[in-house]
Amino acid sequence: MSNPLYEHIKRDPRYTELVQRRGRFAATLALLVIVVFFSFVLLVAFAPQVIAIRLFEGSHLTVGIALGFAQFVFFCALTWVYVRRANGEFDVLNAQIVQDALRKTA
């Protein structure tokens, strides 16, 4: 047996839109993570001479270390982007859908 509140939510076209938009956004970010991560792995595997280049004369820091650090920064930035959009746009739409469903079931 299903809860009438959930049935109202599932029938709301905004719910379908929310699920699709959130899914596309998450898939886009996931694809970015995969591309960046595996690009680095492929660079390590097939062009180790590139990642071994020192950033400046006499330095122990290499291009590989800089790119590895840049990945962490990039992934943190993507997380921030996702959280910001989820807490803003997605949560607002979700709250509207739930409020409308509560009114209809009351």
25/86 Cα distance (integer angstroms): 10
How is residue 47 written in tokens?
A: 């062009």
Angle of helix 13-46 relative to helix 91-105, nearest 10 degrees? 150
Please tell me the predicted confidence (pLDDT) of residue 1: 42
Residue 41's closest CA among 27, 51, 32? 51
106/60 Cα distance (integer angstroms): 67
Number of structural domains the chain divides into: 1
Contact 90/22 with Cβ under 8 angstroms?
A: yes
pLDDT digits (tens, 9 = 90+) for 27-71: 999 999 999 999 999 999 999 999 999 999 999 999 999 999 999
pTM of the model: 0.82
Q: What 3-state DSSP class applies to 104?
A: helix
Domain containing residue 100: 4-105
- By residue count, the chain amounts to 106
pLDDT digits (tens, 9 = 90+) for 76-97: 999 999 999 999 999 999 999 9
64/7 Cα distance (integer angstroms): 52
